[in-house]
């Protein structure tokens, strides 16, 4: 009979889960003993960075990924990154080692007492197997649940003395032979009814969210927008790019206040939302949820998202399948095609450069297939205005807004998509949350370009302070950070630039390199310049 450890690796092979991200401790060593050569272990120097790297890898590859963490303390370190993974619905099987079973009741050192409770709000399922022989079944269930829509992280606590126990070979064979699928199209009658509403609408508008990109409906969204000649907005605080930003129908990203969002959609009588919550607001700005005379229909694969929406109708279905059916069911519009939005004028060159000027320079050197990871939060609106993204899988952002995602996720994305150049645009404050991921990029030879936007502050907090009428807040300033020195300390080549010409040259060099590189550029704060 195989051991539980052998059975678990065989099971993971059968499910195609062969990439681990982690930061192991003593409780995890029995599982990793004699690590099989056909598996890959990607080490993060901090648990938060390890989860964020896994998050990026799983989103970019579409694969379920195993995350290997250490007991309660390691899991605790990873919780911030787990918030982002939950919100982005990333299929992660998060494991943490547990003390030997007999040691848990006496609360020995590194015992994770109440192990399943710690991550419970952030995962679809949290489990510690009752018996050693139940471990393979728990891992199997975790893999299936993580991948079923709506996808998301799950958690399994694994006692260190379970791995040498004997597994049930017959049960293992049954588990290995299973497949579980969950894509569901809407009923044809539901599709027809929605198509008729779109056909009757005087001025429909299309709002697309991250699941359009995640579920492979990018091209379907374009076809629907073109067929009905609808203007297209991206949902607020989006974590993916679900529509080409250089398309004539594209209008921009919706604001995050209730009143402002409703006002932006004013004049439309039907709002079709696909692959986004309705809506993910941020700052409190009371007002009507919908413009006068407008109705809303949302297509989502998440029943909870459908149920909690404060307005409109909802269709729970696979977003890609729903949009493909809708493209076939709607009639071609005879109205005028939307006029392309006016691109902003080139930003003036200042010293230090503005964020606008930096993004103009970046847009000018990016290859068409580039993947962008953004965690420069104070100027993300400027980013969307000035950087072109025209292909599926071109953009990633922290879904829950938790800092520490961007720099580390870019490493995972680069590992998953080696054929596409990856550029991570990171604020100097954000970079500190997962700076050890630079070492992982060097260690595994992942040629990510890290562009650090350095304004010496948590500038986004100053922006919010102005909105809230708050002044004199401590802890905003970030003097003395030297990201080039930090990069070199992790073995990465770095360069600080100040002029537009130097920036363009440094970005071209980094994009042409087969090794990771860091470029740091000082930028003005948002309150100092409005280009």
Query: How far is Cα 132 from Cα 4, in angstroms, rounded to an integer?
Result: 7
3-state class (DSSP) for residue 281: coil
Task: Identify which of 88, 67, 87 has the alpha carbon closest to the alpha carbon of residue 78.
Answer: 67
- Give 383-431 as a DSSP string: HHHH----STT-EEE-TT--TTHHHHHHHHHHHH-TTS-EEEEEEHHHH
Distance (Å) of CA 317 to CA 41, 92, 182, 196 = 35, 22, 10, 18
Find tokens 């970079």 and name the residue: 431
Q: Which fold, 355-522? A: Rossmann fold (3.40.50)
Residues classed as catalytic: 25-26, 28, 47, 70, 282, 401
**Using an 8 Å Cβ cutoff, are 434 and 408 in contact?**
yes
Matching CATH topology for 4-176 and 188-329? yes
Residue 530's pLDDT band (cuts 50, 70, 90): very low
- pLDDT tens-digit profile of 384-429? 999 999 999 999 999 999 899 999 999 999 999 999 999 999 999 9
Q: Does 188-329 carry CATH code 3.40.50.1220?
A: yes
Give the SS3 label for residue 334: coil
**DSSP for 234-248, written as a single string:** EPTT-SB--S-TTST
Question: How far from each other are the two terminal CA atoms of the chain, in whole angstroms?
Answer: 70
For the CA atoms of 278, 142, 173, 17, the dihedral, rounded to the nearest 10 degrees, stands at 80
The whole-number pLDDT of residue 473 equals: 77
- Note whether 231 and 251 are within 8 A (CB): yes
Tokens 């728990």 sit at which residue?
A: 138
Indicate if the alpha-carbon torsion angle 236, 237, 243, 248 is positive or negative: positive
Give the pLDDT confidence score for residue 531 in this predicted structure: 34
Q: Which residues of 393-427 are buried (b: 16+ CB within 10 A; e: fewer)?
A: bbbbbbbbbbbbbbbbbbbbbbbbbeebbbbbbbb
Percent of the chain with pLDDT over 70: 98
Judged by average pLDDT, the poorest of 98-107, 256-265, 467-476 is 467-476
In this structure, of 80-89, 280-289, 294-303, the range with the lowest mean pLDDT score is 280-289
pLDDT, one tens digit per residue, over 365-395 is 999 999 999 999 888 899 999 999 999 999 9
What mean pLDDT value characterizes the chain? 94
Whether 324 has a pLDDT exceeding 50, the answer reads yes
User: Using one digit for the tens of pLDDT, what is the confidence trace for 171-181?
Assistant: 888 999 999 99
Element (H, E) at 207: strand 204-208
Between CA 331 and CA 340, with CA 335 as vertex, the angle to 5 degrees is 115
Question: What's the confidence (pLDDT) of residue 378?
Answer: 85
Q: What is the DSSP string of 358-370?
A: HHHHHHHH--TT-
Segment 451-474 mean pLDDT: 79
Backbone angles phi, psi at 230, to 5 degrees: -100, 140
By C-alpha distance, which of 6, 47, 48, 56 is closest to 24?
A: 47
Other C-beta atoms lying within 10 Å of the C-beta of residue 336: 7
CB 442 within 8 A of CB 491: yes
Cα three-residue angle 221-81-79, rounded to 5 degrees: 135
Tokens of 51: 């989860």
CATH assignment of 4-176, given 3.90.180.10, 3.40.630.30, 3.40.50.970, 2.40.37.10?
3.40.50.970
Domain boundaries, the chain: 4-176, 188-329, 355-522
Q: Which among 268, 313, 273, 315 is positioned nearest to 294, based on CA atoms?
A: 268
Cβ pair 20, 36 in contact under 8 A? no
Give the HSE-up count for residue 368: Cα atoms under 13 Å, Cβ half-sphere. Answer: 4
Give the pLDDT confidence of 495-529 residue by residue, as tens digits: 999 999 999 999 999 999 999 999 999 999 876 54
CA distance to 284, 334, 355, 438, 494, per residue, from 520 (Å):
34, 50, 13, 14, 8
Tokens of 207: 């709002």
């Amino acid at each position: 009979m195989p051991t539980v450890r052998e059975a678990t690796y065989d099971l993971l092979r059968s499910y195609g889960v062969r990439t681990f991200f982690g930061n192991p401790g003593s409780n995890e060593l029995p599982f990793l003993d004699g690590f099989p050569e056909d598996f890959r272990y990607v080490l993060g120097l901090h648990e938060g960075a390890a989860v964020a790297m896994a998050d990026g890898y799983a989103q970019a590859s579409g694969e379920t990924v195993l995350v290997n963490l250490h007991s309660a303390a390691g899991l605790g370190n990873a919780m911030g990154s787990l918030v982002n993974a939950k919100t982005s619905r990333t299929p992660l099987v998060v494991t943490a080692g547990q003390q030997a079973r007999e040691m848990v009741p006496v609360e020995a050192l590194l015992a994770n007492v109440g192990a399943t409770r710690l991550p419970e709000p952030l995962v679809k399922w949290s489990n510690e197997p009752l018996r050693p022989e139940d471990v393979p079944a728990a891992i199997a269930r975790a893999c299936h649940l993580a991948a079923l829509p709506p996808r998301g992280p799950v958690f399994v606590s694994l006692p260190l003395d379970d791995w040498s126990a004997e597994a049930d070979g017959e049960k293992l064979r049954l588990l290995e032979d299973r497949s579980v699928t969950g894509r569901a199209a809407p009923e044809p009658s539901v599709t027809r009814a929605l198509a008729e509403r779109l056909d009757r609408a005087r001025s429909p508008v299309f709002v697309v969210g991250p699941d359009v990109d995640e579920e492979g409906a990018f091209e379907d969204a374009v076809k629907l927008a073109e067929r009905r000649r609808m203007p297209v907005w991206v949902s607020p605080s989006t974590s993916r790019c679900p529509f080409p930003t250089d398309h004539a129908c594209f209008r921009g990203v919706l604001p995050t206040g209730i009143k402002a969002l409703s006002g932006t959609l004013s004049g439309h009588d039907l709002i079709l939302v696909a692959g986004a919550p309705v809506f993910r607001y941020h700052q409190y700005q009371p007002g009507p949820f919908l413009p006068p005379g407008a109705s809303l229909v949302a297509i989502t694969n998440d029943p909870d998202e459908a149920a909690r929406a404060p307005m409109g109708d909802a269709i729970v279905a696979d977003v890609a399948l729903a949009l493909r059916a809708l493209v076939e069911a709607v009639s071609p519009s005879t109205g005028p095609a939307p006029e392309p939005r006016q691109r902003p004028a080139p930003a003036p060159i200042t010293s230090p450069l503005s964020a606008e000027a930096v993004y103009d320079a970046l847009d000018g050197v990016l290859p068409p297939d580039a993947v962008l990871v953004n965690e420069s939060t104070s100027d993300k609106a400027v980013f969307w205005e000035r950087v072109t993204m025209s292909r599926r899988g071109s953009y990633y952002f922290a879904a829950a807004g938790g800092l520490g995602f961007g720099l580390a996720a870019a490493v995972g994305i680069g590992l998953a998509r080696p054929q596409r150049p990856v550029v991570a645009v990171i604020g100097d404050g954000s970079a500190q949350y997962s700076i050890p991921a630079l070492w992982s990029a060097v260690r595994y030879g992942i040629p990510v370009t890290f562009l650090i936007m350095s304004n010496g502050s948590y500038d986004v907090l100053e922006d919010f302070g102005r909105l809230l009428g708050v002044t004199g807040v401590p802890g905003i300033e970030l003097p003395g950070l030297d990201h080039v020195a930090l990069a070199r300390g992790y073995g990465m080549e770095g360069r600080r630039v100040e002029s537009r010409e130097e920036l363009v040259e440094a970005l071209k060099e980094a994009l042409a390199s087969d090794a990771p590189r860091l470029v740091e550029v000082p930028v003005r704060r948002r309150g100092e310049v409005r280009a």
